Amino acid sequence: MSAASHAVARVRARTGGPKDDGPKILEHLLGWTLVVVLAVFVTRAGLM
């Protein structure tokens, strides 16, 4: 395998990893927003 074809194969083989997650702050904000919305829903529905 030549160096160029090896580089192309390596780029294609990437499946995404911890460094490709994107902004962590956005993920945390969306997660906490979901928690708050669920808590309000549960409280309003009288389930708690």
Q: What is the DSSP track for 1-48?
A: --HHHHHHHHHHH----GGGS--HHHHHHHHHHHHHHHHHHHHHTT--
Domain count, the chain: 1
Domain that holds residue 33: 22-48
Q: Is residue 35 situated within a structural domain?
A: yes
Q: Is residue 10 situated within a structural domain?
A: no
pTM, rounded to two decimals: 0.51
Q: What is the mean pLDDT of residues 18-33?
A: 82
pLDDT over threshold 80, residue 42: yes
Q: Is residue 39 situated within a structural domain?
A: yes
Q: Is residue 42 situated within a structural domain?
A: yes
pLDDT at 18: 63
Asked whether the beta carbons of 28 and 36 are under 8 A apart, the reply is no
